[in-house]
Amino acid sequence: MSKAIGDLVLPDDVRYTLDHEWARQENGNIKVGITDYAQDQLGDIVFVELPEVGRIFSAGEEFGTLESVKAVSELYIPIGGEIVAINEALAETPEQVNSDPFGNGWMIVVKPGDIAEFESLKDKGAYLEILKGSE
């Protein structure tokens, strides 16, 4: 059963993409994961494929995949740059993406090539409007 829009966790301190990834500024880098909406739609996540540290991506490129009991979904990087960390714990406990998508369920940390890309992402209000439009 999917959550109602009003029941979704949507932190104010992150930016959102149309593909339901989130991005949070931390110490000059950008931490990335998927939103509560995305994990709720996917169902139980059983496998997370992440890139190697040191890889460089452009904004919007596919950086990994999520496998749930329902489907395999691509992950798209919200901001271009170099991968400086991955959440290695997800290899053993992918369910953290479901239980704590904005905390322990984070996926990658990116050293941004252009921080202006972060500013172009959606804020909570704009993301909420997108979700309401997809009801």
99 assigned to some structural domain: yes
81 assigned to some structural domain: yes
Q: 66: alpha, beta or left, given left = phi > 0 and alpha = psi -120 to 50?
A: beta
Gap between the Cα atoms of 127 and 135, Å rounded: 13
Q: What is the pLDDT along the chain (135 residues), one digit of tens a residue?
A: 588 888 899 999 999 999 999 999 999 999 999 999 999 999 999 999 999 999 999 999 999 999 999 899 999 999 999 999 999 999 999 999 999 999 999 999 999 999 999 999 999 999 999 999 875
Gap between the Cα atoms of 15 and 30, Å rounded: 10
Q: How much is the pTM? A: 0.95
Q: In Å, how far are 32, 58, 90 from 102, measured between CA atoms? A: 9, 23, 13
95 assigned to some structural domain: yes
Q: What is the pLDDT of residue 5?
A: 86
Number of domains into which the chain is organized: 1
- How far is residue 76 CA from its own chain's centroid? 8
Q: At 22, phi and psi to the nearest 5?
A: -120, 155
Q: What rounded mean pLDDT belongs to the chain?
A: 95
Question: By the 8 A CB rule, do 55 and 34 touch?
Answer: no
118 assigned to some structural domain: yes
- State pLDDT tens for residues 73-95: 999 999 999 999 999 999 999 99
Instruction: Please name the residue ranges forming H helices in 36-108.
Output: 36-42, 96-99
Tell me which residue range forms the domain holding 54.
19-133
Question: By the 8 A CB rule, do 45 and 90 touch?
Answer: no
Q: What is the pLDDT of residue 6?
A: 85
2 assigned to some structural domain: no
Q: What is the pLDDT of residue 133?
A: 86
86 assigned to some structural domain: yes
5 assigned to some structural domain: no
